[in-house]
Structure formats: C-alpha cells, structure tokens
C-alpha cells in the first residue's frame, strides 16, 4: 500500500534534481538504469545547462568564461580591494553569531547563515554578494539567474585517528551542473586541507556518461552511503580511464574567490595538521530540467536572504521524518572551540 501511494511521488521526482538511488526505487532501479534511465537524466540535464549558460554568458568576463568552460572552475585572487577585505574579515572575526555544526569523520563544519541580522552586523558582505563579477560567475557556473545561499563557514580539522572525513574522497555532488563558491578569509596551505578539483571533469564526455551508466547499475546496492544517496565517489586511479588528469589542489591566499561546478569531481585534501579554514561559502541548485534560466521567486529580495533560516527551522520541526544534520551549537565566534 505504501508503495502504491508513493509511486506518483517517485515518478514525479524523475523530472527534478532528486538523486538518491537508495530513497527512490525508480532512480535506483537496476532494470530501468540498464535501459538507460540514469544516463538519460544526466544527458538531458547537462544539455539544458549549457543552453541556459549561453543566455547568461554576457554577464561573465570572456577570459573567465573560457577558463570555466575548459576547467570547470574559476579562481580569482585579490577579489576585493585590500582595505575592504580587511574590514570585512575583522568584523566577522570580532563578533559572535548563532551557529550550526555538522561533524564528518575528524572534521567539523560550522556555519553561520548570512541572513538579515548578519547583513546588519557585517554590511561589508554585501560588497561581495552584490558584486556583478561574483553574481555573474555564480549564475553562469550554476546555469541559472538565481541567488545562491550564502554562509560563513569554518572547517575545523582535528586530525583525530578516528573515521576519515568523507569529503576527502573525490566525488561529484550530483548528476547535473551545480555551483559552489568559496571566498577565503584566511590563507589555506597544502597542510590545511585545501579544495581540490579534477580539471575538465564537469564536461559530459562519452567516457563520463559511460561511467555514470555503469555506476547507476551498482550503486543502489552499495555500502557506500553517500554514493547510494547520489553523490558518486570515484577513485583517483579511475580518472585516466575517463581521460581526465589527476586532481589539482588549491592552496590559496586570503581574499581569493573560487567558483566551481561541483558535478565535476572534487574533494577536500586531507589535512596533515589541525587547522581552521574560514570562508564565505555559497551554494546554488535548482531543478536541472527547467529550460529557462530565470523565474526564481525564491531569489527575490526579502525572500532570498531568509531562506536558510527558514530551511533550518523547518528541518528542526520535521527532523523526526527528514533528519537534521545541522545541529545548533550556540552563539560563537567563528574560530571558537
């Protein structure tokens, strides 16, 4: 009876960004994926993303657009004027904010929502999120004229001998193009666990599509929980078979912006020492099967900056059914223990 009631919902999810091979028996169906279901969703989503990007191309510097089209990411050092950057950074470091945390292996991710109260406390952040270069890159990479979700994020790596951080394994976030941006507020050295990316892995080549098809046939029964939920992991030794180079890591100076399509393979390099990485982190994802680039009502001023707190509040109320990985951790400074 439950399956009969849920079947229309599972079917409707095929036309959305739903990605879990474990939670949706149609997405995870070995028979349907052998017939090409997953490969078709991947192919259509990528085709539509590049069509939308054509409409958004004028908003991006031509050199940066070419770099993204080739590599899947754009790196911009010294993004803000030095004086403005220092003022922004000091305001964030000196204040206390309501925080949420999630632990994965030996790494704690702490987030502060950039909402109305934060923007009143740190008005300099508007200089970043309203910068036409930042907005243009996020839109082009994400393929939508939408406002990402913005956070202050602290990555606390403890290097305990316990479970490893799953984010240190190369992976694609999902099957379709999506955008993440990191604006680094402190220097990140190789020992601190920088971001890494496999150049060109955002492109849907014949080899990548075949890999997606092959993985769709096995991952639903896999013990790899995150892959089964649709964030497919890949071994570094598999990259050559997809005609891809080894991953490139990004030790960066503060005031560097990195914007990437995270359907490309990426990871956090395993830190070799306890470290704390501070960044303004942005994330955007819409239904990949929409043919239009705009029309996002949730990006309207007055709504966009309230989305994170609304989502957290909703999941708090519904965590019995939905789960809530982001637990409240009190009022803290970003580098507090």
Residue-level pLDDT at 159: 57
234 forms beta bridges with none
Domain boundaries, the chain: 18-332
C-beta neighbour count of 23 within 10 angstroms: 14
Among the listed residues 52, 35, 57, 45, the one whose alpha carbon sits nearest the alpha carbon of residue 14: 45
Residue-level pLDDT at 213: 98
Residues in the chain: 337
- The mean pLDDT value for 72-79 works out to 98
Which secondary-structure segment (H or E) carries 84? helix 82-94
Among the listed residues 145, 116, 127, 131, the one whose alpha carbon sits nearest the alpha carbon of residue 58: 145
299 pLDDT band, cuts 50/70/90, is: very high
- The mean pLDDT value for 32-47 works out to 98
Which secondary-structure segment (H or E) carries 126? helix 125-129
248-249 β-sheet, strand order? 248-249, 195-197, 266-268
Residue-level pLDDT at 133: 98
DSSP 172-217: -SSSS--EEEEEESS-B-GGG--EEE-TTTTS--HHHHHHHHHHHH
- The mean pLDDT value for 141-170 works out to 88
- The mean pLDDT value for 85-95 works out to 97
138 pLDDT band, cuts 50/70/90, is: very high
Please determine, for residue 1, whether its predicted confidence score (pLDDT) is greater than 60.
no
Residue-level pLDDT at 271: 87
Q: Using CA atoms, how far apart are residues 137 and 63, in angstroms rounded to an integer?
A: 12
Helix, strand or coil for residue 156? strand
Helix, strand or coil for residue 225? helix
Q: Which fold has domain 18-332?
A: Jelly Rolls (2.60.120)
- The mean pLDDT value for 65-73 works out to 99
């Amino acid at each position: 009876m439950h399956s009969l009631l849920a079947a229309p919902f599972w079917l409707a999810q095929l036309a959305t960004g739903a990605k879990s091979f474990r939670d949706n028996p149609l997405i995870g169906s070995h028979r349907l994926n052998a017939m090409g279901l997953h490969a078709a969703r991947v192919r259509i989503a990528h085709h539509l993303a590049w069509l939308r990007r054509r409409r958004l191309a004028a908003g991006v510097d031509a050199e940066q657009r070419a770099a993204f089209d080739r590599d899947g990411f754009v790196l911009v050092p010294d993004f803000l004027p030095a004086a403005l950057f220092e003022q922004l950074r000091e305001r964030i470091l000196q204040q206390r904010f309501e925080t949420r945390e999630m632990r994965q292996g030996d790494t704690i991710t702490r987030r502060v929502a950039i909402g109305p109260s934060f923007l009143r406390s740190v008005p300099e952040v508007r200089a970043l999120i309203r910068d036409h270069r930042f907005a243009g890159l996020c839109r082009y990479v994400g393929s939508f004229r939408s406002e990402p979700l913005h956070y202050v994020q602290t990555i606390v790596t403890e290097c305990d001998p316990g479970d490893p951080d799953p984010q240190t394994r190369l992976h694609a976030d999902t099957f379709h193009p999506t955008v993440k941006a990191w604006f680094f507020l402190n220097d990140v050295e190789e020992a601190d666990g920088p971001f890494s990316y496999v150049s060109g892995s955002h492109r849907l080549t014949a080899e990548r599509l075949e890999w997606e098809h092959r993985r769709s046939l096995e991952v639903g029964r896999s013990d790899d929980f995150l892959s089964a939920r649709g964030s497919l992991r890949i071994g570094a030794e598999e990259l050559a078979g997809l005609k891809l180079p080894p991953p490139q890591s990004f030790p960066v100076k503060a005031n560097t912006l990195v914007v990437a399509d995270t359907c490309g393979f990426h990871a956090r390099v395993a830190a070799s020492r306890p470290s704390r990485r501070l960044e303004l982190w942005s994330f955007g994802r819409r239904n990949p099967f929409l043919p239009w680039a705009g029309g996002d009502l949730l990006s309207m001023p007055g709504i966009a900056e309230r989305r994170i707190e609304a989502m957290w509040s909703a999941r708090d109320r519904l965590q019995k059914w939905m789960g809530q990985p982001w637990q409240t951790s009190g009022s803290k400074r970003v580098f507090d223990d």
